[in-house]
């Protein structure tokens, strides 16, 4: 429980948030309940948006006028696992040493969450004319879907925001674009027979190999097509197969073969292009071969996760505001996916900008520098001043 009107420094708030083990496979409700108590202590209204199972929730708070559009500060509460990593201290107890704050989620991205929450008293004191909305989500590290139910309420039960700032670690650079991340599982069903008489069956493994070769050809074409903007690293859409499993024995035609694959698309890529091309190749080439001696084969591709890309929106309210707050005149791109595309798809101008470096994320002894934490705090204070003027 938070005492009435208790002030916490950003570092103290970060320590509180890190202390909750919110790995994506676990509930984030204890953290959400702590934040709710804290917000109540400052009389800040909020809405809890639970998931279908009721074991996780997003939270949307409004500091300032609740009857008008504001600026959303969006951060996720879930973190990646620590299992198998060689930490030198408890990953869920913040350790401050040599100008760094260590802990799981310290940089990705509880530092941004902590800054937004710790500065609530300052936001309140600023007499905001444009509200600052704090959004905490879940499942960003797995599906990026933890924001969707809350976004659906915007423009209906909640005012549609003027702009959204997603606080993933960008070293306080303003990011206006990133690739999509779309993952699939393809399962090939064959028919078992002795390998000496291949006309009595169909090998799922050999069919899967053809499909993977086609993905390789598509990957090569995407590389040749390149990135006309010249802003991404690598400068093209990537296609990758990560896991393949199938077959029983060398002399048995494989009954099934499954492979997991993904593409990371430039913002300009039609998200249906690659899966549609693979589906067409499967029907016109692979299944024709599998079923030439009988109706032995079928192929299923299931979409797992679809994280939309963030497309550049030059001069948008989000970009203009964020650049002014960081004192720069150029935007950047990042190689990783975020929840930003979901906001943009809902018609909300969106950028990514937060403290710390992604280079320190997802590894043992994850950390954020105190210098970056201070830079994030200065950003928040400038935002409060801007929202008090508007």
Over residues 192-234, the pLDDT tens digits come to 999 999 999 999 999 999 999 999 999 999 999 999 999 999 9
| pLDDT over 80 (residue 321) | yes
CATH number, domain of 200, equals 3.30.70.360
The arithmetic mean of pLDDT across residues 133-150, rounded, is 97
The pLDDT, as a whole number, for residue 5 is 80
| Whether residue 292 is found in the same domain as residue 326 | no
Q: Spell 32-68 as b/e; 16+ CB within 10 A means b.
A: bebbbebbebbebebebbebeeeebbbbbbbbbeeee
The arithmetic mean of pLDDT across residues 174-180, rounded, is 98
Query: Is 2 part of a structural domain of the chain?
Result: no
| Whether residue 203 is found in the same domain as residue 268 | yes
Q: Spell 320-331 as b/e; 16+ CB within 10 A means b.
A: ebbbebbeeeeb
With left for phi above 0 and alpha for psi between -120 and 50, is residue 345 left, alpha or beta? alpha
Of the candidates 306, 339, 372, which is a domain's last residue?
A: 306
End-to-end CA distance of the chain: 34
Query: Is 222 part of a structural domain of the chain?
Result: yes
The 10 Å Cβ neighbour count of residue 355 is 29
- Smallest CA-to-CA distance from 356 within 162, 138, 91, 75 is with 75
The total of structural domains in the chain comes to 2
The arithmetic mean of pLDDT across residues 41-58, rounded, is 98
- Smallest CA-to-CA distance from 79 within 119, 34, 111 is with 111
Q: Spell 101-122 as b/e; 16+ CB within 10 A means b.
A: bbbbbbbbbbbbbbbbbbbbbe
| pLDDT over 90 (residue 2) | no
> Active-site residue numbers?
78, 140
- Smallest CA-to-CA distance from 114 within 188, 29, 9 is with 9
| pLDDT over 80 (residue 333) | yes
The domain containing residue 238 runs over which residues? 181-306
| Whether residue 263 is found in the same domain as residue 205 | yes
| Whether residue 319 is found in the same domain as residue 361 | yes
CATH number, domain of 110, equals 3.40.630.10
pTM of this structure = 0.93
The arithmetic mean of pLDDT across residues 173-184, rounded, is 98
Query: Is 4 part of a structural domain of the chain?
Result: no
| pLDDT over 50 (residue 145) | yes
């Amino acid at each position: 429980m938070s005492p009435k009107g208790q002030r916490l420094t950003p570092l103290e708030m970060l320590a509180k948030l890190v202390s909750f083990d919110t790995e994506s496979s676990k509930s984030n409700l204890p953290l959400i309940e702590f934040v709710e108590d804290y917000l109540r202590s400052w009389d800040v209204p909020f809405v809890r948006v639970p998931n279908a199972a009721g074991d996780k929730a997003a939270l949307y708070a409004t500091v300032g006028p609740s009857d008008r559009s504001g600026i959303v500060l969006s951060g996720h509460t879930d973190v990646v696992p620590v299992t198998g990593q060689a930490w030198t201290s408890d990953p869920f107890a913040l350790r401050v040493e040599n100008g760094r704050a260590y802990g799981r989620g310290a940089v990705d991205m509880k530092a941004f969450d902590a800054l937004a929450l710790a500065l609530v008293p300052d936001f309140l004191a600023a007499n905001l004319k444009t509200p600052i909305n704090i959004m905490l989500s879940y499942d960003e590290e797995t599906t990026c879907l933890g924001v969707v139910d809350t976004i659906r309420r915007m423009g209906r039960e909640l005012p549609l925001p003027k702009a959204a700032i997603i606080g993933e670690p960008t070293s306080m650079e303003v990011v206006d674009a990133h690739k999509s991340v779309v993952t699939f599982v393809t399962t090939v069903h064959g028919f078992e027979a002795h390998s000496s008489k291949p006309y009595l069956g169909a090998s799922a493994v050999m069919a899967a190999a053809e499909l993977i070769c086609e993905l390789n050809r598509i990957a090569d074409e995407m590389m040749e097509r390149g990135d006309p903007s010249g802003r991404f690293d690598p400068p093209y859409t990537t296609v990758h197969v990560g896991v393949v499993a199938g077959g029983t024995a060398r002399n048995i035609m494989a009954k099934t073969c499954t492979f997991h694959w993904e593409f990371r698309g430039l913002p300009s890529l039609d998200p249906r292009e690659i899966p549609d091309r693979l589906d067409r190749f499967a029907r016109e080439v692979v299944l024709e071969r599998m079923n030439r001696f009988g109706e032995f084969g079928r192929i299923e591709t299931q979409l797992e996760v679809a994280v939309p890309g963030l497309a550049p929106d030059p001069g948008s309210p989000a970009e203009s505001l964020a650049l002014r707050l960081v004192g720069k005149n150029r935007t950047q791109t990042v190689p990783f996916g975020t929840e930003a595309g979901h906001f943009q798809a809902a018609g909300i101008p969106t950028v990514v900008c937060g403290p710390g470096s992604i280079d320190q994320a997802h590894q043992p002894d994850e950390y954020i520098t105190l210098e970056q934490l201070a830079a994030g705090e200065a950003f928040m204070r400038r935002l409060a001043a801007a929202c008090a003027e508007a």
